[in-house]
Amino acid sequence: MNSETKKAARSNQEDETLIRDFLAENINAFDRLVLKYQDLVFNLCFRIVGDYDDASDCAQETFIKVHANLKNFAFRSSFTTWLYRIAINTCRTMLSSSGNRMRKKMVRIDRPGDAESGPVEINDCSSDPGDLFEKNEQSRVIHRAIDSLPDELKVLVVLRDLEGNSYEEISEITGVNLGTVKSRLARARHLLRESLREVL
């Protein structure tokens, strides 16, 4: 897990200083924030949207929104929680966009074994996860299993199992109450157990 990355990222004191510098129109402060959190946000987005290019777009869009709204940040929650919330919402928007849904649909109707219609050529523009998980077949299978979950369950699994957030943080990030978070996570793991039965 990337707990070390998170530990490095969650230095609230440093975040607050950078934010105040940014509000004082220190041009470099925002760049430093981006460089500090770009990997964290990119990985979160990749785990949710399941595509390298889309993840890059989502992560960049997240920081663009942060830049536009940082002056409204009231320090009521930690910066990382706020950042996660923006990233999750950006990913949800991406997942619910018509283009994304159409692309997923195109991939799912790919049935090479259909004798009458013959092999169907699918132009899947997403990066092949096989390249990214070249040396880790098990992780590739898990990635696909998580990607096949319904969006509201996938977000919770990513935040809890991959990002290591507590239930309270997940509740704050997603706006879902604590009990619902736990029950949905149990349901998501049950679904994962079904799809990963042969692998694990």
- Which residues would be at the binding site for another protein (CB under 8 A)? 1-2, 5, 31, 34-35, 38-39, 41-43, 46, 52, 56, 59-61, 63-64, 67-68, 132-133, 136, 138-139, 142-143, 160-162, 182-183, 185-186, 189-190, 192-193, 196, 200
Give the nearest distance from C-beta 120 to another protein in angstroms: 30
Separation of alpha carbons 43 and 52, rounded Å: 9
Structural contact between residues 120 and 14, judged by C-beta atoms closer than 8 angstroms: no
Give the nearest distance from C-beta 67 to another protein in angstroms: 5
Instruction: Tell me 77's DSSP state.
Output: S
Give the helix ranges, DSSP H, for 50-149: 52-69, 79-96, 98-108, 129-132, 137-147
Residue with tokens 């070249």: 134
Q: Report the amino acid identity of residue 19.
A: I
Token pair belonging to 22? 């940014």
Separation of alpha carbons 61 and 79, rounded Å: 17
Give the nearest distance from C-beta 5 to another protein in angstroms: 7
Closer residue to another protein (CB): 44 or 173: 44
Closer residue to another protein (CB): 103 or 160: 160
Query: Residues with Cβ < 8 Å from 110, sequence gap 6 or more?
Result: 120, 122
Closer residue to another protein (CB): 77 or 195: 195
Closer residue to another protein (CB): 106 or 132: 132
Give the nearest distance from C-beta 109 to another protein in angstroms: 29
Closer residue to another protein (CB): 142 or 173: 142
Give the nearest distance from C-beta 198 to another protein in angstroms: 12
Q: How far from chain centre, in Å, is Cα 74?
A: 24
